[in-house]
Structure 1
Amino acid sequence: MVAGACDCHTHVFGPRADYPMVDARHYTPGPAPLAALRAHLAGLGLERVVLVQPSVYGTDNRCLLDALAALDGAGRSIAVLEDGVDAAALRELHARGMRGVRINLESAGLRDIAGTRALLQAWSARVADLGWHVQLYAAQPVVLALAEDLARLPSPVVLDHFALADALPGADALTDLLRTGRVHVKLSAPYRLASPSLADAWARHLTDAAPGALLWASDWPHTARDPGRAAHEVSAYRVVPADALREQIARWLPGVELRRRVLADNPARLYGF
């Protein structure tokens, strides 16, 4: 693996007694402690990691921040924040390694274009001076409907999980967005697309079209909701072996220079490593 390689999308889940989950959650994960995350990173030869606030914790970022502190400079994080958070609190979060705020529509199946536009504009304006970005988890139709807005925001934007791009006919619009230099996309979680095989086609297209706008991520520990399982019942994680992730990296990022750019250089610039 290249020096400084980073996994740009992971989660940690601590003991329920210490880190309670919100009642209005859509799934319930089991434990995924920092020790297990460290083993995941070591198994892939990765030196850096980005922790993303999962929906089950709402705006309580304590689990994420505690893990971030223990990573001692090797981690950065993306928060979900309350509307009323003030500038002083944002500066404190920056000092602790926060580098972005997440807008998560997909976990709740939301498609509100006007509401999302307002959220993007409000949060982007608030975090731009910190050098943060806005991370958007939304379905492809939402992303494409907001394309012009995304390119004009004062902060950069990161689109989760291939922008959930299930249709290759949207390739030109997504490529145009990435070429603005304002929007990035994570090559991650192929199981969240309608067909995981689409990920290979998207990876080939995007690495040719806009390698400077790409990030790679594992989506560890691969959360899921078991079919028929109630939201408050624990669902198992998807099983994604380290060998499969290594093969994925080799397939999506052929060549040392491309791997260095996507795994190390792009994350270092965006997250401030």
Structure 2
Amino acid sequence: MTTALHAGEKRRKPDFILPAGSCDAHCHVFGPGAVFPYAPDRRYTPDDAPREALAALHDRLGIDRAVIVQASCHGTDNRAMLDAIAWRPDRYRGVAIVDDTFDDRAYQALDDGGVRGVRFNFVRHLGGAPDMDAFNRVIDRIKGRGWHVVLHLDGADIVPLSDMIRSLPLPFVIDHMGRVDTALGTEQPAFQALLELVRRENCWIKVCGSERISRFPFDAAVPFARALVEASPERTLWGTDFPHPNLKEPVDEADLVDLVPRLAIRAEDRQRLLVDNPARLYGFVA
């Protein structure tokens, strides 16, 4: 039985058994800061969460693969993420943060290191939208590499950004169910716009972040995630968001795993969500 986790409590193993080859398609490594310093202009300073902590989490949960997403606290210094991938190259892939200083050689080094996409943050409390001229130049550089772009945005910005998103000339992934406001219901314009986007053939969506858009036991997130899985069963992804940066309440990731059967009701949808879809997008070999 799941119960709210309090700070300092020991995490448990989930009741739901994940299928073989399951992928945590959204997680982070932080530091250690003494080896991989945090960006001087960061908006927050996390506790260290190195590759060993991530591996221990996945061992506890029964997760075989992972996509390590570069977070803003490390900026464009992707070394901590690349180091983790190099540690387990068959099981890990990455999403980088880049800027205009990255040339073709730098992109090739990222590709060789297991990176398959770049992430742009539009979330207001993390600095807001990027310079769109730089954004477009990066898109031009990566669109021929077979990479994708990850968009981290607020629910309130889905409608205003929809025209730009629809015009993207490459696959794109939207983080955390678009961070929609669950209090406004599934009929709200932001979520309806998100559903329109996810039906596009080049759109992928992560049904992670239940703990960001709802409170334990995360019931409010379920109808949103379920609608997204039903709208695009072959392009949905799932992840833990470990170690949950900037989250006020502690989370036991086992609770997020046990939520999966409520998000994807049919076994075939869970297989796609957890195994087949991330394998196809990130090139994991069976």
Q: Which TM-score applies when normalising by structure 2?
A: 0.84
Aligned residue for 2:159, secondary structure, equals helix
Written as runs of structure 1 = structure 2, the 5 A alignment for 1:162-201 is: 162-166=177-181, 167=184, 168=186, 169=188, 170-193=190-213, 196-201=218-223
Deviation at 1:80, TM superposition (A): 0.7
Counterpart of 1:157, as a letter, is F
Which consecutive residues of structure 2, in runs of 5 or more, have no partner in the other structure? 1-17
Q: 1:119 to 1:82 in 2, by over 3 A?
A: closer
Greater alpha carbon shift after TM alignment, 189-198 vs 90-99 = 189-198
Counterpart of 1:244, as a letter, is D
Which structure shows the higher helix fraction?
1
2: CA distance, partners of 1:107 / 1:26: 11
Q: 1:116 to 1:197 in 2, by over 3 A?
A: farther
Query: For residues 57-89 of structure 1, what are the alpha-carbon distances to aligned partners after superposition, in whole Å with 9 as ceiling and x for unaligned?
Result: 111111111111001221100111131211122
Query: For residues 12-54 of structure 1, what are the alpha-carbon distances to aligned partners after superposition, in whole Å with 9 as ceiling and x for unaligned?
Result: 1222221111222222111212111111112221111000111
The alignment status of 1:32 with 2:49, answered yes or no, reads yes
Q: 1:246 to 1:109 in 2, by over 3 A?
A: closer
Please report the RMSD computed on the Cα atoms of aligned residues, expressed in angstroms.
2.0
Greater alpha carbon shift after TM alignment, 141-150 vs 251-260 = 141-150
Deviation at 1:152, TM superposition (A): 2.4
Deviation at 1:140, TM superposition (A): 1.8
Partner of 1:101: 118
The alignment status of 1:132 with 2:147, answered yes or no, reads yes
Report the number of matched residues: 260
Partner of 1:16: 33
Which consecutive residues of structure 1, in runs of 5 or more, have no partner in the other structure? 227-237
Partner of 1:70: 87
Partner of 2:255: 244
Aligned residue for 2:234, secondary structure, equals helix
The alignment status of 1:202 with 2:224, answered yes or no, reads yes
Contact 2:100–2:134 (8 Å) recurs in 1: no
2: CA distance, partners of 1:188 / 1:80: 20
Counterpart of 1:222, as a letter, is H
1: CA distance, partners of 2:158 / 2:133: 14
Q: Which TM-score applies when normalising by structure 1?
A: 0.88
Q: 1:64 to 1:145 in 2, by over 3 A?
A: same
1:84 to 94, 97, 101: 101
1:156 to 160, 171, 175: 171
Partner of 1:222: 244
Query: For residues 76-126 of structure 1, what are the alpha-carbon distances to aligned partners after superposition, in whole Å with 9 as ceiling and x for unaligned?
Result: 0011113121112212211110011110122645555xx665454332221
